[in-house]
Amino acid sequence: MKIVILNSSPRRKGNTSKLCDAFCKGVVTTDKNPDITTVFLNELNFKGCQSCFACKLRGSKQYGRCSLNDELTPILTAVNEADCIVFASPIYLMDVNSSAKAFLERLCFSLGSYEVGYRSLATKKALVVTIYTMNTNKKFAPVKAMNNVDMFLGHIFSPPQRLCSYDTYQFSDYSKYVVDVFNEAEKAKQRENQFPKDLHKAYTLGADTATAYLKNRINK
């Protein structure tokens, strides 16, 4: 099973990464030798869509492919060849962060055709998992933004399985920062009681995703 994890968090060891790691641990309970590639989007040098429309050029070899050549180019190829795609982003300003957004522009616009019916140009209907982490609680979660991402990825590949981690613990020491609107004790309690449950959900999601892939392969 070939899995590509797109992690847009600037924190390699943050909440988003921990959930991705838990997902991978779940995968190996079912698939003992998966091919897993983790990409930290924030560390790559790339731009969002430049609206050149080369990916829509009739009769072109570039049709359905982004024409920009930068550090994202091989990643887009790997994603299009994957059996499972994990898209993971922290929520900034009520949306996925800038690295995630730029990646989605390049991926979804090139693989989403303007043909009648807007057919997908993806190589295969890869399984998709979306992971969102956020400081806010569930009541104020940016549902429309997450739905929008899931809609595009679902159209290009397959409907995503979504995991959200709310009210996350942001700092190792809250006293160092001007964040008076947050109660550190409550945040710590949330981290102690809820985040382990979120990690377990990610672990279970990994196991379930690998099971679904293997079952689908057997049935083909």
Q: Which domains does the chain have, with CATH numbers?
A: 2-219 (3.40.50.360)
Token duo for residue 119: 């057919």
Token duo for residue 146: 């997450």
Confidence check: pLDDT of 68 > 80? yes
pTM: predicted TM-score of the whole model, two decimal places: 0.95
The mean pLDDT value of the chain amounts to 96
E strand residue ranges, the chain: 2-7, 35-40, 84-92, 95-96, 127-133, 161-165
For residue range 93-132, list pLDDT tens digits in order.
999 999 999 999 999 999 999 999 999 999 999 999 999 9
DSSP state of 68: -
Other C-beta atoms within 10 Å of 70: how many? 13
* Alpha carbon distance 5, 68 (integer Å): 21
For residue range 146-163, list pLDDT tens digits in order.
999 999 999 999 999 999
For the chain, how big is the Rg over CA atoms in Å?
18
pLDDT of residue 81: 96
Token duo for residue 210: 């690998």
pLDDT of residue 44: 98
Residue with tokens 């590509």, as numbered in its chain: 4
Confidence check: pLDDT of 220 > 70? no
| Sign of torsion over alpha carbons 185, 189, 190, 195 | positive
pLDDT of residue 171: 86
Token duo for residue 184: 């550190």
Token duo for residue 102: 């730029």
For residue range 163-174, list pLDDT tens digits in order.
999 999 988 889
* Alpha carbon distance 128, 112 (integer Å): 16
Among 68, 40, 39, CA closest to 53: 68
- Strand partners for 90: 133
The mean pLDDT value for 88-96 works out to 98
* Alpha carbon distance 106, 47 (integer Å): 8
Confidence check: pLDDT of 217 > 90? no
